[in-house]
Structure 1
Amino acid sequence: MEEALDWVPGGAAGVAMIAGTVALGTYYLATRPKGRPPMFPLNEQAFLEQEGAEMIRTSRFCKDSKDGKFMRCLYEDCRTLYEAFRRGAKESNNGTCLGWREKNKPYQWLHYNEALLRAKNFGCGLVHLGLQPGSHVGIYSQNCPEWVLVEQGLYSYSMVIIALYDTLGADACAFIINQAEMNTVVCDDDAKINLLLDKAPSCLRRLVHIKDLRRETVARARKQGIELIRFEEVERLGSAHSHSYRERPPTPDDICTVCYTSGTTGNPKGVMLSHENVIACVSAVLLQLGEHRPNRSDVMISFLPLAHMLERCCQVAMYMQGGSVGFFRGDIRELMDDMKVLKPTLTPAVPRLLNRIHDKVMGTVNGSTLKRMLLRMAMNSKFGELQKGVVRKNTIWDTLIFKKVQESMGGRIRLLVVGSAPLSGTVLTFVRCALGCVVVEGYGQTECVAPCTLTIQGDCVPEHVGPPLACSSVKLVDVPDMEYFASAGQGEVCVKGVNIFKGYFKDPERTKSVMDSEGWLHTGDIGMWLPNGTLKIIDRKKHIFKLSQGEYIAPEKIENIYIQSQFVSQVYVYGESLKSCVVAIIVPDVEAVKQWAGENDIPGTLSVLCADDRVKALILSDVTRLGKEAGLKSFEQVKDIYLHPDPFSVQNGLLTPTMKTKRPQLKAYFKPQLDDMYSRLN
């Protein structure tokens, strides 16, 4: 990726190359393929109902949704996650299913029938050890084939899977195990076993381990009265006693998972999802993708956490269609190497990954007027094709400009699903042009499985999240304190449909706080209906505060504007009710700041540059400019910033696993800097 555009010469040779490129470009424009028209006019992407001042919108992919008859499944033989996997085995004719690799080696594969047999044996082994249908079983592991085998093994006997993950910490893991009354947890390695042993609740009686353990760990578990058993041993037990325990497939109404979401405060909330919830959501996505949906020839790379529903839904879609899923090795720094070996055809993605790809390419052209011009020509040409419905990666621009980007992800990506956080329109358009593939962006939350809206292929206008899916309807409700009113097409996003969760586990009060009496899930996000029926997320209801002069501030709205600065990698906007202005912590973009510093003869590491007043003035001026252009009021603009060289991350406790900022933790972490800024502003 770093080598993109390095082939461009200078001087007369560069001019000649431009002339040749223009000629080739003209030829390609004359011979380019014709785009396929969208399934319906893009200026009317959702049905509209009227309910007082509240505008309820439903999917045009399911006409019955206007009458409250939402899509429940795409295939009659696929109403549970148990049935979805078996459908994939038939569709693929026992094709490759689960892939993994060791360093410097090709991928190895389990085929569907072998995966089904191993999963059944594992579930049977747990039943032999005393578990029953409805039992809650934990899994604490990185993405790997065994994760899926555990999940499918549990579904074979109508059990429920509950995922744990690193950033929960020992206390939260203990809380979940205790609340869910889990006596068995599957762990992948020694470190995770020890974390659970640190605060093991009395209900925890057995730990199943995938990898070898140290003697000290075995002794520690024995001392605490907790049984340790190898993953393969559970499989052997199941195989030996398979004749004694018939499978107990789940029904659509059965709970398949309790997905604990790590909020910014308090104990995690257990979102109860049924098989029907998940199947309805995945089916609606597949319906909307049409001819672009996964098929048995597709290969997906798995690197987003399986503990969260975006990755789970993407994998369910693959298994339902008979596709293959290859797992990354567990180190995000080696993800691109894994992709080059696997050569996936589709992948879920998060904005942070796409932002890095975009920034890398921009970094290669910033120092050259010629390279910037060629990249601009390439983008204009590719975007012009997108507007006509042409999606391809065989243009002259792909060969000369974008090939390195495409090859960095294996060279075969045809579908990319984006979710979990806002993605800037600039980056989304760049990715669509550079990768030459279909890119859809969704919006949702765990409480509605994953997405409840999704952009439609053919709509290349960025910065919205599409119309409602066929499994649900969406409406906006008034938020008077923030001056958002549904009659004006703005308000809190509410969702109702087959994908809505069954409530928070053992927490009816929290459930009532987000679910009203009519079954609408109140998301806490502020949305706006665009004229074409698509939804745009513009604000967040929860993170608001009032300044001393009585003005309300929505910090995430400001952050989403400031993050568009080329010099900003991360930003946290902060204010207090006793203060009259807001301030911000900014993590600068390393490459952009260092390049600017070099051009201005300012030496030093990023830490040194963060303390330089000239760098601070540059970034403050740039974000203020962006704020003005976006229409921020004076009181919404930050009056001071502190530059911090180290990124907010999951590891340092400042981001959630879904890459959202932990505002209370950020406030505590940067309290000295925040106090110092306010003391200087007084």
Structure 2
Amino acid sequence: MKRRMSSFLSDCSAVSIGAGVVTAVTAAAATYYVATQPEPNVIPPIDLSDQSIVLEDGVRISRFCENGKLMKYMYEDVKTAYDAFQRGLKISGDQPCLGTRTGPNLEYEWMTYKEVFAKSRAFGSALLTRGLKPNDTSFIGIYSINRPEWVFTEQACSMFSMVSVPLYDSLGPDACKYIIKQGEISYVVCDTTQKTENLLAKADQCPSLKCIIMMESPSDELKSKAAKHKIELIQFNDFLEVGEKNLQEPKPPKESDMATICYTSGTTGDPKGVMLTHANLITNMSSVTCMALKAVSVEQSDVHISYLPLAHMFERGMEIICFMHGVRIGFFRGDVKLLTDDMQALKPTIFITVPRLLNRIYDKILNSVQSSALKSKLLEWALEAKSREVERGIVRKNSIWDKLVFGKVQNLLGGRVKIVITGSAPLEAKVFRFIRASFGCVVMEGYGQTEATAGITFSIAGDPSTGHVGCPLPCAKVKLVDVPEMDYYAEDGKGEICSYGPSTFIGYFKNEAKTKETIDDDGWLHTGDIGEWQPRGTLKIIDRKKNIFKLSQGEYIATEKIENCYSRSRFVAQAFVDGNSLKNNVVGIIVPDPEVMPGWAKTEGISPDMEELCKNKKVKDMIFKDIIGVGKEAGLKKFEQVANIYLFPELFSLENGLLTPTFKNKRPFLRKKFQSLIDEMYAELEK
């Protein structure tokens, strides 16, 4: 993932902060700035000192819950995913809906809401002509990056009460085989020849698979290969024509009907199929909308860029919100290296993202000014001034500091972004502060997981504080439960985060045992994350219950916490920490940052080649010292710090199978790959 982001991040590095600005001009700018500050324009809708309601037994709910009741939906006419699109269709009609960059000039070309509805109806009608039933026993696989055909397929499923089952672009053929076999899926929509080849390679182990509908034009050779496995291969547009000639009336779903099975990639074992109903989707997205609308309006003129995988509920949920408000959605070209260019062409107003990207933007901007004392000071002044504005509820892009410093950062995103929503992992406080100031827009953070549909907590519009993930969404009750083996107790305001409400999933597909492990007898979802209630009623993520093990002296180790800590070192791109119960310490595989290390090597007069750097003891000692310092600063205990490290020159990625599709360490694969090196590191420590 990081390699694919390198072009985007190099654009950030290239932003020249205040080049040519002299001290006298800066002083004049500061005077002008003080004299022209506007009034606050983002007013918190509730008292920020008391953001959640405490019920019995420490359970908390949102202050946006009417009469203490959990929210089920925001609009009377939107109770299913089908209803959400219908509302957008009613609002927009012939206004743009989906856009792609095509043609010689790479301009965005748009399909209207009516056109998208027509194609979705045709696709669903074609499925019915093939004998599929319009109910939630019909599963349709989608194996593709984000593009219009993805939406046509999903909307067809909603229109005809079928179930969409995404096959992650990066799960690989074994996991895809597992999902198809478990779901007895007969129809899979696939975007490329390569992915079709992947499916055909496992076809003998997928007896249910009857038809692959390809977005690209299949070659005769590929059709012949499919025919040998008794699988029909048909081009997507040809399939649409079948439906257009046999149009069927929509058969909309009920709220309680299953809408999708979203498989979580997991870090161990086979993927688990999270079953989500239409009610799950709508209650969660209505709750996010309710809180986001307190900050900004969402209307037809808004534009969302779709680049996070539609196979995950974060992106899919955002698109439901867009559809219900008639917003237009522009797709990136499928390559994150081109994301900056796509955003500058699309000029989105809505941008959802993940901390991994925001962290790297922050790092690159700071690194870009280190060589100049004037630029560093100017950035410091600008950050301080804009942060004071955010604390006062002033959000804008037209201050003198935006003109001198932050304007180029904003233009990387197209210049029009008015709201940023980040999720999937906590965002460090200093990065949050920087992004709010530099982007010049409302920035909100959420926390959740697929099993809760998407969100569990969300930050309040106008809350300038950082270091937490907000308060409960209106659709969820939240409580903390004791984790005695990690010394966390609810009476101290710390414990495992549990959620309850109408957005909780109905179970793992064909996996009752895992369902019972995750949802207790009272219906509470146990997330595996450790949280701490803050004095103002917000929640802070402080640890992870999963991926823990005991050291030989009985101390528990939470490896993800340590890895996240070390990744904040400027020299570290990625970290994998491991150990076992027979040892009294942990060791780590460290991937040095390929964008920082060459510059450091130059100042040290050594080769900038990554492989040579990783073999250099001086480099190893320097990085080891730095991460131990970072760990101490973050409060890691002595037994949590690595005792030895190995420097690895290649980034963990989706392509080499070392990251999950949500960009988390794929622990079993990493352990298998590095087991001999881990053994060697322990052997060195025992000499």
- TM-score interval (norm. to shorter): over 0.9
RMSD: 1.4
Partner of 2:253: 250
Q: Residues of 2 paired with 1:93 and 1:21: CA distance? A: 50
- Residues 366-410 of structure 1: CA distance to partner in whole angstroms, max 9, x if unpaired? 111111111111110111111111111111111111122111111
Cα distance in 1 between the residues matched to 2:433 and 2:677:
36
Residues in 1 aligned to 2:43 and 2:628: alpha-carbon distance in whole angstroms: 41
Q: Distance in 2 between matches of 1:193 and 1:124?
A: 23
User: Which residue of the partner structure matches residue 302 of structure 1?
Assistant: 306
Match of 1:278 in 2: 281
Aligned partners of 1:586 and 1:641 also within 8 Å: yes
2:278 equivalent to 1:267: no
**Which amino acid is the alignment partner of residue 515 of structure 1?**
I
Residue 140 (structure 2) pairs with residue 137 (structure 1): yes
SS at match of 1:168: coil
Query: Does residue 637 of the first structure (1) align with residue 641 of the second (2)?
Result: yes
Distance 1:247 1:591, change over 3 A: closer
Task: Give the gaps of 5 or more residues in structure 2.
Answer: 1-11
CA distance, structure 2, for counterparts of residue 385 and residue 637 of structure 1: 39
Q: What is residue 672 of structure 1 aligned with on the other side? A: 676
Q: After superposition, give the CA deviation of every residue in 1:634-671 in whole Å (9 maximum; x if it has no partner).
A: 11111222121211111111111011111111111112
Contact 2:187 2:211 in 1 (8 A): yes
Q: Residue by residue, what CA displacement relative to the aligned partner does 1:132-157 show, whole Å, maximum 9, x if unpaired? A: 11211111111001110111112111
- Equivalent of residue 181 in structure 1, options 173, 181, 184: 184
Q: Distance in 1 between matches of 2:178 and 2:586?
A: 36
The residue type paired with residue 409 of structure 1 is: L
Match of 1:38 in 2: 44
Report which stretch shifted further, 439-448 or 667-676: 667-676
1:234 aligned residue = 239
* Correspondence 1:479-498 to 2 at 5 A: 479-498=483-502
- How far has the Cα of 1:340 moved from its partner? 0.9
1:507-526 alignment runs, 5 A limit: 507-526=511-530
| Structure 1 residue aligned with 2:109 | 108
> In the TM superposition, what is the alpha-carbon distance from 1:224 to its structure 2 partner?
1.2
Deviates more, 1:600-609 or 1:174-183: 600-609
Match of 2:7 in 1: none
Matching of residue 121 in structure 1 with residue 125 in structure 2 = no
Q: What is the CA distance between 1:93 and its match in structure 2?
A: 4.2
* Deviation per residue, 1:49-82 (Å, 9 max, x gap): 131xxx2110011143x3xx31011000010110
TM-score of the superposed pair, with normalisation by structure 1: 0.96
Q: Name the count of aligned residue pairs.
A: 668
Q: TM-score, normalised by structure 2?
A: 0.95
Contact 1:4 1:401 (C-alpha < 8 Å) held by counterparts: no
TM-superposed deviation, 1:291: 4.3
Check whether the contact 2:459–2:471 (CA below 8 A) recurs between aligned residues.
Answer: yes
Answering whether residue 508 of structure 2 is matched by residue 504 of structure 1, we say yes
Give the one of 139, 149, 154 matched to 1:151: 154
In structure 1, the partner of 2:195 is 192
CA contact (8 A) 1:56 1:474 kept: yes
Matches within 5 A, 1:489-568: 489-568=493-572
**C-alpha contact (below 8 Å) 2:70/2:474 kept by paired residues:** yes
Distance (whole Å) between structure 2 residues aligned to residue 586 and residue 461 of structure 1: 32
Offset at 1:427?
1.8
Residue 24 (structure 1) aligned with residue 29 (structure 2): yes
Rounded to whole Å, the distance in 2 between the matches of 1:405 and 1:83 is 38
1:126 Cα deviation after fit: 0.9
Name the SS of the counterpart of 2:172 in structure 1.
Answer: helix
Which of 383, 407, 412 is the equivalent residue of 1:408? 412
State how far apart, in whole Å, the 1-side matches of 2:17 and 2:520 are.
57
* 1:7-86 alignment, distance < 5 Å: 8-9=19-20, 17-35=22-40, 36-51=42-57, 55-64=58-67, 66=68, 69-86=69-86
Deviates more, 1:623-632 or 1:412-421: 623-632
Aligned pair partner of 1:591 in 595, 600, 623: 595
Contact 1:261/1:271 (<8 A) preserved: yes
CA contact (8 A) 1:4 1:402 kept: no
Partner Cα separation in structure 2 for residue 140 and residue 545 of structure 1: 35
**Residue 6 of structure 1: how far off its partner (Å):** 5.7
The amino acid that maps onto 1:18 is T
Deviation at 1:411, TM superposition (A): 1.0
Partner-residue secondary structure (3-state), 1:411: coil
Change (3 A) 1:640 1:521: same
SS at match of 2:543: strand
Residue aligned with 1:487, SS: helix
Q: What SS does structure 1 have at the residue aligned with 2:33?
A: helix
Residue 428 of structure 2 is aligned to residue 424 of structure 1: yes
Give 1:364-443 correspondences, 5 Å limit: 364-443=368-447
Q: Which amino acid aligns with 2:157?
A: L
Q: CA deviation at 1:104?
A: 4.2
Give, in whole Å, the separation in 2 of the partners of 1:293 and 1:582: 49
2:579 equivalent to 1:575: yes
Distance 1:544 1:161, change over 3 A: same
Structure 1: state its 5+ residue gaps: none
For 2:80, the aligned partner's letter is T
Structure 2: which amino acid aligns with 1:207?
I
Q: Does 1:88 align with 2:88?
A: yes
Asked if the contact 2:93–2:112 (Cα under 8 Å) also holds between the matched residues in 1, the reply is no
Contact 1:424-1:564 at 8 Å conserved across structures: no
Residue 293 of structure 1 deviates from its aligned partner by 4.6
| Superimposed CA distance per residue, residues 199-219 of structure 1 (whole angstroms, 9 cap, x where no aligned partner) | 121111111111111222110
How far did 1:359 drift? 2.2
Which of 178, 202, 205 in structure 1 is aligned with 2:210?
Answer: 205
Determine if the alignment matches structure 1 residue 172 to structure 2 residue 175.
yes
CA distance in 2: counterparts of 1:39 and 1:19, whole angstroms: 41
- Which stretch shows the higher mean deviation, 229-238 or 274-283? 229-238
Q: Is the 8 A contact 1:363 1:591 kept in 2?
A: no
Does structure 2 conserve the Cα–Cα contact (< 8 Å) formed by 1:188 and 1:209? yes
Asked if 1:445 corresponds to 2:449, the answer is: yes
User: For the residues of structure 2 that align with 1:5 and 1:185, how far apart are their CA atoms?
Assistant: 47
SS at match of 2:261: strand
Asked if the contact 1:178–1:203 (Cα under 8 Å) also holds between the matched residues in 2, the reply is yes
Partner of 2:4: none
Aligned equivalents of 2:165, 2:14: Cα separation in 1:
43
Report the alpha carbon displacement of residue 94 of structure 1 after superposing the two structures with TM: 2.8
Once residues 455 and 252 of structure 1 are traced to their aligned partners in structure 2, the CA distance between those partners, rounded to angstroms, is 27
Tell whether the 8 Å contact from 1:45 to 1:467 is kept in structure 2 after alignment: yes
* Contact 1:156–1:247, Cα closer than 8 Å, also in 2: yes
- Report the CA distance between 1:511 and its aligned residue: 0.6
CA contact (8 A) 2:303 2:350 kept: yes
Q: Secondary structure at the match of 1:348?
A: strand
Please give the alpha-carbon distance, in whole angstroms, between the structure 2 residues aligned to 1:497 and 1:349: 26
* Counterpart in the other structure of 2:13: 2
State the alpha-carbon separation in 2 of the partners of residues 6 and 288 from structure 1: 34
Residue equivalent to 2:3:
none
Shift of 1:187: 0.9
Please say if residues 276 and 506 of structure 2, whose CA atoms lie closer than 8 Å, have aligned partners that are also in contact: yes
Q: List 4+ stretches of structure 1 deviating above 6 A.
A: none
CA shift for structure 1 position 166 = 2.8
Query: What letter corresponds to residue 56 of structure 1 in structure 2?
Result: V
Question: Which amino acid is 2:37 matched to?
Answer: R
Distance 2:493 2:94 in 1: 49
